[in-house]
Chains A and B, each alone.
Chain A
Amino acid sequence: MRPLAAPARLRPCFGLDPPGCGISAVRMLAYTIQRVFQSAIVLLVVGLVAFSMFRFVGDPIDNMLGQERTMEDVERLRAQLGLDQNFFVQYYRFLEGAVQGNFGVSYRQGRPVAEILLERAPATLELAAVSGFLAIAFGIALGVFTAIRRNGFAAHAIMTVSLIGVSLPTFLIGILLIYLFSVELGWLPSFGRGEVVKIGNWSTGFLTASGLQALILPAITLGLYQMTLIMRLVRSEMLEVLRQDYIRFARARGLRERAVNFRHALRNTLVPVITVTGLQLGSIIAFAIITETVFQWPGVGLLFINAVQFVDIPVMAAYLMLISVMFVGINLIVDMLYFAIDPRLRADRTGAH
């Protein structure tokens, strides 16, 4: 059987194990511990970067106190922020604060960063969820279609368009959509979230007509790139699987074409697709920065880009911490899931071979 098309770093082989090594329960546990440990180190390093930004890029005191200040004010704030202590104590305190969700006060807005982030998060999460869903649904559907009808005219057309789509910068796609649907046709709004409804702390745009309308263009813009990626991946995996003997055998048994394509072929392509899709989830949040700027979507990404423009270090540091926790977490989960999903790897574990 074809070896799994996973990036090398996802393979659970370490030490002297040969490539394609099987996974015993003990090794699995050791691997899990190793990965968790690695993730923790990555987070500590990112924390150090974030802390150094806060501490050394510009003087926090200068940024927080205005022109009119006394030496007492400076000293008081210095002690209050703990800036008179040594580096490691400060770093420890920063981490302690970050774990408790305390990222300091925004230079620009004068409010706690955590509060601003919480306020902005629903917009980004809703946008990311919808575009992720679009990307997966259409990506898999089009991928299967282009694989099954790989010589058809429609499949060729889709592949060509997707090639252009990959080289088109995200912001140009956004502008193009705005031009078509907002300026020329006037069907959809070009900026903002529309009306939102507050449910507790969560503001949602799902419940109003204008909120849903405002969501359409940004969601397409954000999801398009991931969709082409998933589509191309599904297509190439499908083509690979369709060549296998068991597919020929399934056809020989007289199974209907649909059953062969979906029950046999598609299911066997899903492992790498899930891996890559999982890793792409993080990029959706990161690329949301661009989409949110084009559409003035009031989310975390727009907050971050404004923070970079105005050098609002606490916001930048908090965003960095937040997004790295997310990335590292997703990576860890995908690595772990990798064994859980694939029965071939499980079979190795129970000693079937």
Chain B
Amino acid sequence: MVDTPLPPDAPVAVKDPSRLSLALQSDFFYQFKRSPVAIASFVVTLVLVLGAVLAPLIAPFDPFDPASLNLMNGFSRPMTPNAFTGDSFWLGTDDQGRDVFSTILYGMRISLFVGAAAVLFAMVLGITLGLLAGYVGGWTETIIMRVADVQLTFPSILVAMLIFGIAKGITPVEYRDQVAIWVLIIAIGLSDWVQFARVVRGATLVEKNKEYVAAARLIGRSGPAIMVRHILPNVLSPVLVIATISLALAIIAEATLSFLGVGAPPTQPSLGTLIRIGQGFLFSGEWWILFFPAMTLLALALSVNLLGDWLRDALNPRLR
């Protein structure tokens, strides 16, 4: 190709061979195109995330606005006009006449928000402690890794329940429902940081003996600067994989806690809360109140999980 000189007033972006075209030519994208499972799970995840984010625009009703509810619409079957009002709902309504489709969209918002925020929290905490343990070593490392070992002895869902219980005990009764979502995020995040810390520490131990770290030290950069600016970018790729798989686990953990009644309150129902509510109508024949939230949770957890599995294989050339 002949290099033609650019006109002096051309925008800078044109000079680049464009980031998008680089990404489209990458090995990563090639792997993605070749895997039908990856494409399918990516599409499902994208649709669900978009549905959650755009819930206020998509949802036909606002389930939190009592004015939009009509008790006469209660227990409408999916896709069939209600016997009293003649209104029709895609996925039916619950006992109070709330549109199940709308509550699912809003519930997914809460599920995804709690899951993502919890993973983010666990990630920040785990990376910080892992970097410290790996780079500083000594007593810092011993204490951090011992705590991690002890916590790893217990299943994380149990740890999350305990933290939730303690936090509930500390907050005054009148604030409990308001802070429940944040408590949930902290509880799930605290139960999940160990994985990140262990991986980051392991990678840091390898990286800190490399020449670029020695060079950075030589020119007098401080410990925190070396950790954050030099080592951190080099240990991030395994973190990304763990984060994706953790997201699926966090979504399930949130749903489980909410289902058990120690998570999102009925005023802010997540998918787990909706399933808890729906379980009460299982025996009386209103299956849709339970079925659709359960299917949504399943699709969400499964697609994020498969995406994480694929990402792990794609980022690790040895497994191909």
A53 at the binding interface (Cβ < 8 Å): yes
Q: Which residue of A lies closest to B291 (CB)?
A: A179
A289 contacts B260, C-beta separation under 8 Å: yes
Once the chains are docked, how many angstroms separate the CA of A58 from the CA of B166? 9
Chain A, Cβ-Cβ closest to B156: A286
A64 part of interface (Cβ distance < 8 Å): no
Which of B100-108, B113-121, B206-214, B251-259 is the contact stretch?
Answer: B251-259
Could you tell me if B260 and A290 are in contact, using CB atoms closer than 8 angstroms?
yes
Contact indicator A311/B275 (Cβ below 8 Å): no
A183 to B278, CA, bound (A): 14
Q: Across the interface, do B275 and A327 meet the contact criterion of CB distance under 8 Å?
A: no
In the complex, are the beta carbons of A172 and B155 less than 8 A apart?
Answer: no
Task: Please tell me if the beta carbons of A169 and B256 are within 8 angstroms of each other in the complex.
Answer: yes
* In the complex, B161 has a CB within 8 A of chain A: yes
Known contacts being A283-B155, A305-B161, A308-B161, is A170 close to B282, with CB within 8 Å?
A: no
Residues 289-307 of B, flagged 1 when their CB comes within 8 A of A and 0 if not, give: 0100010011001100100
Instruction: Choose from B161, B169, B260 the contact partner of A313 (Cβ within 8 Å).
Output: B169
Q: How far is the CA of A179 from the CA of B281 in the complex (A)?
A: 11
Contact B262 A309 (CB under 8 A): yes
Q: In the complex the two chains form, is B297's CB within 8 Å of A305's CB?
A: no
Is B175 in contact with chain A by the CB < 8 A criterion? Answer: no
Contact residue among A175, A293, A307, A328 (Cβ-Cβ distance under 8 Å from B275): A175
B294 touches A42 (CB 8 A): no
Contacts A9-B149, A183-B282, A327-B154 hold; do A171 and B166 have CB atoms under 8 A apart?
no
Q: Is the CB of A172 within 8 A of B165?
A: no
Number of interface residues of B (CB under 8 A): 35
Does B298 contact A172, Cβ atoms closer than 8 Å?
yes
The B-contacting residues of A in range 298-322, CB under 8 angstroms, are: 304-305, 307-309, 311, 313, 316, 320
Q: Which residue of A lies closest to B153 (CB)?
A: A327
Cβ of B262 and Cβ of A308 under 8 Å apart?
Answer: yes
Q: Is the CB of A305 within 8 A of B260?
A: yes
In angstroms, Cα B192 to Cα A248, docked, is 44
CB of A171 within 8 A of CB of B259, answer: yes
**Residues of B close to A307: CB separation below 8 A:** 165
Query: Binary interface profile of A, 183-207, with partner B (CB < 8 Å = 1, else 0)?
Result: 1000000100000000000000000
Contacting pair A175 B294 (CB below 8 A): yes
Q: Are B170 and A293 in contact (CB under 8 A)?
A: no
Kindly state the interface size class of chain A when it binds its partner: 35 or more
A175 touches which of B150, B166, B170, B282 (Cβ 8 Å) = B282
Contact at B260–A293, with CB atoms within 8 Å? yes
Question: Which residue from chain A places its CB closest to the CB of B262 in the assembled complex?
Answer: A308
| B283 contacts partner chain A, Cβ-Cβ < 8 Å | yes
Cβ contacts under 8 Å, A304 to chain B:
161
Chain A proximity of B230: nearest CB distance (Å): 27
Judged by a CB distance under 8 angstroms, whether B164 is at the interface is: yes
Q: Mark B187-200, 1 if CB is under 8 A from A, else 0.
A: 00000000000000
In the complex, residue of chain A having the shortest beta-carbon distance to the beta carbon of B176: A311
Is the Cβ of A167 less than 8 Å from the Cβ of B155?
Answer: no
* Min C-beta distance of A175 to chain B, whole Å: 6
Interface contact A167-B260, CB-CB below 8 Å? no
Which one, B154, B164, B248, B282, contacts A167 given CB within 8 A? B248
CB proximity of A283 to chain B, nearest CB, Å: 5
Decide if B301 touches A171 in the complex (CB within 8 Å).
no
The interface residues of chain B lying within 8 Å CB-to-CB of A171 are 255-256, 259-260, 275
B260 touching A316, Cβ below 8 Å: no
Enumerate A26-60 residues with CB–CB distance to B below 8 Å: 42, 45-46, 53, 57-58
B-contact bits for A221-257, CB 8 A (1 contact / 0 none): 0000000000000000000000000000000000000
In the docked arrangement, what's the CA distance between A327 and B161, Å? Answer: 17
Q: Tell me, rounded to whole Å, the shortest Cβ–Cβ distance linking B145 to chain A.
A: 10
Distance from A81 Cβ to chain B, minimum over Cβ atoms (Å) = 17
A283 to B162, CA, bound (A): 15
B82 adjacent to chain A (CB < 8 Å): no
In contact, B168 and A311 (Cβ under 8 angstroms): yes
Q: Quick check: is A164 within 8 A (CB to CB) of the other chain? A: yes
B158 contacts A179, CB within 8 Å? Answer: no
A168 interfacial by beta-carbon distance below 8 Å? yes
Is B274 positioned at the interface, with any CB of A under 8 Å from its CB? no
- Does B279 lie at the interface of the complex (its beta carbon under 8 Å from any beta carbon of A)? yes
Across-interface contacts of B282 in A (CB, < 8 A): 175, 178-179, 183
B224 on the A face (CB < 8 A): no
- A91 contacts partner chain B, Cβ-Cβ < 8 Å: no
Contact of A290 among B170, B256, B290, B305 (CB under 8 A): B256
B55 at the interface (CB under 8 A from A): no
Say yes or no: A308-B164 contact (C-beta < 8 A), given A169-B301, A171-B275, A175-B279.
yes
Q: B162 — which chain A residues lie within 8 A by C-beta?
A: 308, 316, 320
Closest to A63 in B: B169
Given contacts A164-B302, A286-B158, contact A45 B150 (CB under 8 A): yes
Residues of A within 8 A of B255 (CB): 169, 171
Report if A289-B261 is in contact (Cβ < 8 Å); known contacts: A9-B149, A169-B256. no
Expressed in whole angstroms, the minimum distance between the Cβ of A317 and any Cβ of chain B is 10
- For B251, give the chain A residue with the smallest CB separation: A169
CB distance from B206 to the nearest CB of A (A): 15
Whole-angstrom distance between the alpha carbons of A168 and B155 in the complex? 17
B214 to chain A, nearest CB (A): 25
CB of A339 within 8 Å of the partner chain:
no
- Closest A-B pairs by Cβ, 8 of them: A57-B169, A308-B165, A311-B169, A286-B155, A286-B158, A169-B252, A167-B305, A167-B302
The 13 listed contacts between A and B (C-beta, < 8 Å) are: A57-B169, A167-B302, A169-B255, A169-B256, A175-B279, A183-B282, A282-B155, A293-B261, A307-B165, A308-B262, A309-B261, A311-B168, A331-B153
